[in-house]
Amino acid sequence: MISNSINRKIFTLLKVQYSNMLEYRVEIALWAISGIIPFFMLNIWTNNNLNESINISDVMLSRYFLCAFFVRQFSVVWVVFSFEEDSLMGKVSPYLIQPLNPFFRYLAQHIAEQITRFPFALIIAVFFFIFNPESMWIPNLKILLLSIISTFFSFIIQFLIQSIVACLCFWTEKASSIERLLFIPTLFLSGLLAPVASFPEYVKSWIYLTPFPYLIDLPANLLSGNTTNFRGGIGIQILWILILFPVFRKIWSAGTKKFTAMGS
Amino acid sequence: MNPRKYLKVYAKFLHTSLASELEYKTNIFIDLITAILSLIGSIFLLSIFFQNSLNIGGWKFEEALIIQGIYTILNGITNTWFNPNLTEIVKHIREGTLDFVLLKPIDSQFFISSKKINPSGFLEIILGLCLLILCIRINQINLNLSFLTLSFITIICSICILYSLWFFISTTTIWFVKTWNATEVLRSFLYIGRFPLNSFSFSLRIFFSVFIPIAFITTIPSEVFLGLSQLWKISLEVIVAIVFLTTSRKFWLFALKFYTSASS
C-alpha cells in the first residue's frame, strides 16, 4: 500500500515534469548544442598530435571526448538556480507545506529533462560519427550498463553538492555565485576539457582525493573502453554519495528552521 | 542625437546599477575568487597542451599566453556590460516591459545595452591587463607609438564585434521569445577564443573566421602584439567590425517592426 503510493508519487512527478520539459524542447536542444566544447578540445588534441605523448590513440581519444560529451549531457545540474529563483520569488513556502521534500520535485525535473535531451544528444553523436567514421564502436552490454550507473552516480553527486549550495539560499539569498565558483574546478579537473590521464604528476597526486575525476573522467573512460579502475571508481562514487547525503539532510533541516517566508 | 544628454543618462545608469549590485558585497567577493580561479584553470589547461610540445599551431607557450590575456579582458568586458544587459532583453520581451523602453525619448538600443553594469567583471579586465603586461615583458615586445595605436584599434574592433554578436543573438528573442540559451551556445563557441586559431583543423578554422568571427576577436590582436600581423588583416578586422556594428543596428530596427507587445 505504502509502496504503491510512493510509486504513484514518482510517476506523477515525472509525468508532469516531462510534459513541462517537452514544451521547452527547442531550448533543451540549444542546451545540448552548448555542450559541444569537448569536441573542440578533441580537435586541438588530434590536430597537433598532442595525444602521442600520453599514449592514447586518435580513435580512443575521440571516443573518450564523445563519451565525455554524453556523460556531461546527462549529469548537468542546475538545481541551485531553480531553487534560488523559487526562494527569491517566495515559491518555496507552499512547497514546504506539502508532505514532500521540494528537492524531489527538482530531481524529477532534472530526470525529465535528461529524457527530453536524449534524442538531441543522439543526433549530435550521429553527426560526430559522420565526420569521424573510424571512431565508431559498440560497447558491450555490461560496460554500457555500468557506465550508465556510473553516470547516474556522477549526476547524484553533483545534484547533492548543488543542493547543499542551494540550501545556503536560506542564509544568503544569492547562492548561485558559490555554484559558479565550484563550477570552475569541475570544468577543469573533471576531465571534460582534457582526460585526467594527461594531467601532470603534481596534480594527479591529489586529484583522486576530490570528487572531480569521478564526475566525467571515470564514466567516460569506462564507456569509451579506455583503461580505468572502474570497480574502485564506482566504489568511491558511492562513498561520496554516502558522505554528501547526510550533510544535505543536516543543512536542509537547519535551513528550514532558519527559513522566514517572504513578507514575514 | 545629443551626446551630452546620453552621457548624463549613462552616468545615472552607472549610479543606480552600481548601487544595486553593491548590495550583495559577498557575492562580488566570491565572483573575484571565481575570476582568479578561472584564469588559473585556463593557464593550467594550456600548460597541459604544451607539456609535451613546444608549439601549437605555430604558437609558443609565452605567445599563447597573450591570447589568454586578451580573452580574459574581453570576457571581463562581456561580464561587466554585455551579459547583464543583453540577457535582460529576454526578460523585457517575455514580460512585455519592452513597451516602456520603446516609449522613452531615448534610443532603445542605447537604453537596452547600457542600463546595467556588473562590477565583478572589472577584476577580470585587470587580471587580463596584468597578464598582458607580463607577456610584454616575457616576449620582450618593445613599446612604441605605432604598436600601441594598432593594438588599441584591434582590441576596440574586437569589442565591437563581440558586442554585435551578443546583440544579434539577443535580438532574435523578438521572434523566439526565449533565447536565453542561445546566448549560452554563443558563450560556448566563444570559449574557442582562448586558443590560437591555427591550432584547429582547417574546416573549423574556416567556420570560426566566416560564420562566427572568433578568429578576429582574439587571434588578430594577439598577432599585433607579437608584431606578426599584416596590414591587410588589421584593415579586414576594422571592416568586419564596422559591418557587424551596422548590421546589428539595422537588424534591431528591423526586428522591432515585428514586436507585438505581450498580451496583444
Q: Is the pLDDT of residue B65 over 80?
A: yes
CB contact under 8 A, B184 and A200: no
Which of B87, B124, B185, B197 should be substituted to probe chain A, the one whose Cβ sees the most A Cβ atoms within 10 Å?
B185
End-to-end CA distance of chain A: 39
Range of the domain at B11: 3-256
Q: Let me know if residue B159 belongs to a domain.
A: yes
The pLDDT tens digits for B73-82 are 999 999 899 8
pLDDT of residue A264: 45
Dihedral class, residue A173 (left if φ above 0, else alpha if ψ from -120 to 50, else beta): left
What ipTM was reported for this prediction?
0.84
* Residue A182 contacts B, CB cutoff 8 Å: no
Indicate the residue of A24, A35, A188 with minimum beta-carbon distance to B41.
A188
Length of chain B (residues): 264
State the total domains in chain A.
1
- Give the cell for residue B153: 584599434
Q: What does the pLDDT look like over B194-251, one tens digit per residue?
A: 888 888 888 888 888 887 788 778 888 888 888 887 888 889 889 999 999 999 999 9
Tell me whether B57 touches chain A (CB under 8 Å).
Answer: yes
CB A161 within 8 A of CB A182: yes
Q: Is residue B105 classed as helix, strand or coil in its secondary structure? A: coil
Q: Which of A71, A239, A262 is nearest to A155 (CA)?
A: A71
SS3 for B60?
A: strand
- Chain A within 8 Å of B2 (Cβ-Cβ)? no
Interface of A with B in 191-210 (CB under 8 A): 193-194, 198-200, 203
B88 is a domain residue: yes
B138 to chain A, closest Cα gap in Å = 24
Q: How many beta-carbon pairs under 8 angstroms link A with B?
A: 89
Give which of B92, B113, B108 is closest to B253, Cα–Cα. Answer: B108
Stretch B83-105: mean pLDDT, rounded? 84
Task: Check: pTM over 0.80? Answer yes or no.
Answer: yes
Q: pLDDT of B131-190, one tens digit each?
A: 999 998 888 877 788 888 888 999 999 999 999 998 988 888 888 766 667 777 888 888
Which residue has 563519451 as its cell numbers? A67
In whole angstroms, give the CA distance from residue B93 to residue B226: 44
Closest CA to A215 of A162, A164, A166, A152: A152
Nearest to A181 among B30, B182, B191 (CB): B30
Q: Domain residues for A235?
A: 2-263
Band (pLDDT 50/70/90 cuts) for residue B122 is confident
Contacts of B191 in chain A (CB under 8 A): 37, 40
Q: Write the DSSP symbol of residue B59.
A: E
Whether the CB of A130 is below 8 Å from some CB of chain B: the reply is no
Inter-chain residue contact B185 with A185, CB threshold 8 Å:
no
Task: Let me know: does A224 contact A58? Beta carbons within 8 Å.
Answer: no
Q: Which of residues 42-101 of A touch B (CB under 8 A)?
A: 43-44, 47-50, 52-54
Distances (CA, A) of B90 to B21, B76, B99, B121: 20, 21, 13, 21
Q: Which residues of chain A does B90 touch, with a Cβ-Cβ cutoff of 8 Å?
A: none
In chain A, residues with a C-beta closer than 8 Å to the C-beta of B49 are 44, 48, 50, 194
Q: Which of B21, B26, B27 is the mutation pick for testing A, counting most A CBs within 10 A?
A: B27
Question: Does B124 map to a domain?
Answer: yes
Residue B261 inside a domain? The answer is no
Nearest CA in chain B to A188: B41
CA distance B167 to B170: 5
Q: Is A264 on the interface with B (CB under 8 A)?
A: no
Scanning the structure block, which residue is given the C-alpha cell 521569445? B177
Average pLDDT, consecutive stretches of 10 residues, N- to C-terminus, chain A (264 residues): 76 86 80 88 86 82 92 90 83 81 89 90 92 86 92 95 90 81 91 90 90 93 85 92 95 85 54
Tell whether B175 lies on the interface with A, counting CB pairs under 8 A. Answer: no
Question: Mean of the per-residue pLDDT values for chain B?
Answer: 86
Residue of B nearest to A173 (CA): B24
Closest residue by Cα to residue B191 from B166, B157, B218: B218
Nearest C-alpha in A relative to B24:
A174
Chain B residues within 8 A of A37 when measuring between CB atoms:
188, 191
- Look at B2 and A3; give whichever has higher pLDDT: B2
* pLDDT-above-70 percentage for chain B: 96
The average pLDDT across B94-108 equals 85
- pLDDT for the residue B1: 67
- State the pLDDT at residue B263: 57
Across the interface, do B51 and A37 touch by the CB < 8 Å criterion? no
pLDDT at B178: 64
Structural domains counted in chain B = 1
| Structural domain includes residue B262 | no
Does the beta-carbon distance from B53 to A187 stay under 8 Å? no
